């Protein structure tokens, strides 16, 4: 069973409440202790990231944490990255939701269609901003593109239906991942992924960031470690963004959610998860390309 601060089954109201509910009185103390602890973490992580033969870098994501900490039989065999309906749906779905929240379109379907059209147009014009995914989409036959569009629409609609969007104090940020580059080592970078970022307040009225992470696959024991590692990255990035307060992991397939309040314990767990992942990657070559592209 996943170990976390709280878990349950979500309805739109329940998931929104879990994400946005005000912080308790302990958040004030937690905030100070977390920021204190965060000062030591960059040095600790740099020491852990001992360069490997060949000078390969460590670009760690939640996927690597899951892979490193999960049971050996729970991980699908690694295959070279390739664009597919599966790997493209998040990027297209997020683009569709952004368009929806800005009022540019009126439904997830329209948002995804707009995202696909933009991608194909950029690729056909040879624009510098065209991504590898854009070029891949542009090269697909119409039916293949339709299948990709269908997958992205489903992904986006599930997320759209999962939250009460009117409850947000201000429009949330959709799908901006944060990368933290180690100041001590150019070989180490860590990613925090979140599909929805918003703000909740502590008792003093100060804002803390809250993060909704869409989780795939079965419920698993590593989920706390995955969220903790992402929380740690948010803390390390917080000098240039809001201090983080909460991570909520949500499984669209089952409706389950897991909430992690970001306190010192979560931070320690995050460091431990990264340490174990780095140790694991010492024996297993790490493939960054695929997960980084799919998450872009």
Partner 1 sequence: MCGPQVLVTRRVTALVHTSPMVLVAPGQEQGALWSPAPPTPDDRALSASGAQPAAVRLDTGRPAAARDEVLALLRDGSGQRPRFDPGLAGGLRAWLEDAAAELVARRGEDAPPLFLGPRLLWDGSVAAADPGETPTGRYPTEWVRSCLIRALFAQVVTTGQVEDPLGDALDALRVDPGRSAMARHVDELPEEARSALAASLHVHIENLMNLTPRFAAGWLPRTHDRVAIPLAGGRVVLNGVFDLLVGAPVPGRATLCALGLTTGGRWAQARTALHYLALLETLRSGTPPFRLALLHSAAGRYGVEDVLEEHLRTIVSHVVVRLSTLGAGDA
Per CB under 8 A, residues contacting partner 1 are 1, 9, 11-13, 73, 82, 84-86, 106-110, 140-144, 146-151, 153-154, 157-158, 160-161, 218-220, 251, 253-256
Q: Which is nearer to partner 1, 51 or 217 (CB)?
A: 217
> Shortest gap between Cβ of 262 and partner 1 (angstroms)?
25
> Shortest gap between Cβ of 6 and partner 1 (angstroms)?
16
> Shortest gap between Cβ of 166 and partner 1 (angstroms)?
13
Which residues are paired to 213 by β-bridges?
249
Phi-psi region of 205 (alpha: psi -120 to 50; beta: other; left: phi over 0): left
Q: b/e map of 156-189 (b: 16 or more CB within 10 Å)?
A: bbebbebbeeeebeeebbbbebbebebeebebbb
- Residues contacting residue 277 through CB under 8 Å, at least 6 positions apart: 60, 64, 65, 68, 69, 229
Q: How far is CA 266 from CA 51, 139, 195, 209, 241, in A?
A: 27, 44, 20, 15, 19
Q: Which is nearer to partner 1, 93 or 244 (CB)?
A: 93
Q: Which is nearer to partner 1, 55 or 71 (CB)?
A: 71
Q: Which is nearer to partner 1, 43 or 78 (CB)?
A: 78
Q: Which is nearer to partner 1, 5 or 206 (CB)?
A: 5
> Shortest gap between Cβ of 26 and partner 1 (angstroms)?
29
Residue 27 DSSP SS3: helix
> Shortest gap between Cβ of 150 and partner 1 (angstroms)?
4
Which residues are paired to 178 by β-bridges?
192
């Amino acid at each position: 069973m996943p170990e976390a601060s709280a878990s349950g089954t979500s309805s739109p109201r329940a998931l929104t409440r879990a994400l946005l509910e005000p912080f308790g009185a302990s958040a004030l103390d937690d905030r100070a202790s977390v920021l204190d602890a965060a000062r030591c973490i960059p040095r600790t992580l740099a020491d852990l990231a001992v360069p490997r033969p060949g000078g390969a870098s460590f670009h760690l994501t939640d996927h690597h944490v899951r892979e490193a900490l999960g049971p050996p039989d729970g991980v699908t065999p690694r295959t070279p990255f390739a664009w597919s309906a599966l790997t493209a749906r998040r990027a297209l779905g997020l683009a569709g939701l952004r368009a929806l929240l800005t009022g540019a379109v009126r439904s997830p379907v329209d948002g995804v269609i707009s995202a696909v059209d933009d991608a194909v147009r950029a690729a056909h014009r040879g624009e510098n901003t065209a991504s590898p995914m854009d070029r891949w989409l542009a090269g697909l036959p119409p039916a293949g593109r339709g299948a990709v569009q269908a997958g992205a629409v489903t992904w986006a609609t599930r997320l759209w239906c999962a939250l009460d969007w009117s409850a947000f104090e201000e429009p949330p940020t959709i799908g901006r991942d944060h990368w933290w580059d180690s100041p001590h080592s150019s070989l180490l970078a860590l990613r925090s992924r979140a599909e929805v970022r918003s703000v909740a307040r502590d008792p003093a009225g100060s804002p803390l960031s809250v993060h909704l992470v869409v989780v795939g696959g079965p419920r698993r024991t590593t989920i706390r470690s995955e969220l903790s590692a992402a929380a740690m990255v948010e803390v390390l990035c917080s000098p240039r963004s809001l201090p983080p307060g909460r991570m909520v992991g949500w499984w669209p397939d089952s409706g389950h959610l897991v909430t992690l309040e970001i306190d010192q314990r979560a931070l320690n767990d995050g460091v431990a998860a990264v340490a174990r992942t780095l140790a694991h990657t010492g024996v297993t070559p790490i493939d960054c390309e695929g997960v980084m592209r799919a998450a872009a």
